[in-house]
C-alpha cells in the first residue's frame, strides 16, 4: 500500500524533530522482514514508501516504555533478479524507521547502564542518520536540513514515479546481523539497508 498523503498529526511529528535529526550525519552505510537478497549492494527501484504512526520501545528495569513516533518503511524491487521464482523481480522491505520528535529524543535515557534504559539517544540519532541517508540518495542531495520537507519530497518523487513518471533507481546495501545461538549454531538474518546512491 503506497501512502503519498501524510496525515497532519504525523507531519507534526516530522516538523518537531529537526534538532534531533541535525545531530545525525547522513549515513549510507559506506527474519522478520521477509525475503531479502544476499548481503551486499543491489541495483533496485524504489517500490513503496509507507508512512504512519509507530511506537519507539525501550526498557528501564525490565518495564517497557513506549513513545508514539513517525514510522517510515521503504520497499525496494530488484532490477536484475535471475533467481526470482517467476519472471518478476522480487521486492524486499527495509527495517522500519522509528523517528521521534525533538522533545522525545531529549527525554530519552543515555547511559551505559542497560537496566536504566541504555543509550537510547544514540539509537535515535542513528535512526535519523540512516533515514537521512535514504532521503539524500533518493533526492540526489548531500545533506537533509529539514526532515519534514525531506519526507514530503520523497513522497512527491514516488507519487510522480507511480503516475507514469521516471522510476527511482537506487543502489541499496543490505546488511545482515550475524551471530551464534546458545546451542553454538550460527545465524544470519536481515538487519537493515542503506541507500547508497540514486542511479
The segments of the chain whose pLDDT lies below 70 read: 1-4, 22-32, 114-117
Q: Is residue 2 part of a domain?
A: no
Give the model's pLDDT for residue 65.
85
Structurally, the chain folds into a number of domains equal to 1
Cβ(154)–Cβ(132) under 8 Å?
no
Q: Is residue 1 part of a domain?
A: no
Give the model's pLDDT for residue 30.
33
Give the model's pLDDT for residue 10.
82
Give the domain extent around 129.
Answer: 8-198
Q: Is residue 13 part of a domain?
A: yes
- Give the position of cell 507511480: 162
Give the model's pLDDT for residue 1.
41
C-alpha cell at 101: 520528535
Q: Is residue 83 part of a domain?
A: yes
Nearest to 47 by CA among 89, 77, 80, 87: 77
Supply the pTM of this predicted model: 0.79
111 torsion bin: left (phi>0), alpha (psi -120 to 50), beta (else): beta
Q: Is residue 3 part of a domain?
A: no
Amino acid at each position: 500500500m503506497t501512502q503519498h498523503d501524510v496525515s497532519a498529526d504525523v507531519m507534526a511529528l516530522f516538523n518537531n524533530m529537526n534538532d534531533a535529526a541535525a545531530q545525525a550525519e547522513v549515513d549510507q552505510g559506506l527474519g522478520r522482514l521477509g525475503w531479502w537478497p544476499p548481503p551486499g549492494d543491489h541495483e533496485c527501484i524504489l517500490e513503496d514508501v509507507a508512512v504512519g504512526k509507530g511506537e519507539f520501545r525501550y526498557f528501564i528495569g525490565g518495564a517497557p516504555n513506549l513513545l508514539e513516533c513517525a514510522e517510515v518503511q521503504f520497499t525496494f524491487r530488484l532490477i536484475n533478479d535471475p533467481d526470482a521464482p517467476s519472471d518478476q523481480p522480487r521486492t524486499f522491505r527495509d527495517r522500519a524507521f522509528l523517528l521521534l520528535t525533538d522533545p522525545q529524543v531529549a527525554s530519552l535515557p543515555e547511559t551505559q547502564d542497560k537496566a536504566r534504559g541504555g543509550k537510547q539517544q544514540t539509537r535515535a540519532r542513528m535512526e535519523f542518520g540512516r533515514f537521512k541517508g535514504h532521503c539524500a540518495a533518493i533526492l540526489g542531495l548531500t545533506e537533509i536540513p529539514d526532515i519534514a520537507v525531506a519526507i514530503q519530497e520523497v513522497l512527491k518523487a514516488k507519487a510522480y514515479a507511480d503516475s507514469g513518471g521516471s522510476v527511482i533507481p537506487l543502489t541499496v546495501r543490505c546488511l545482515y546481523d550475524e551471530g551464534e545461538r546458545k546451542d553454538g549454531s550460527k545465524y544470519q538474518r536481515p538487519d537493515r539497508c542503506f541507500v547508497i546512491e540514486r542511479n
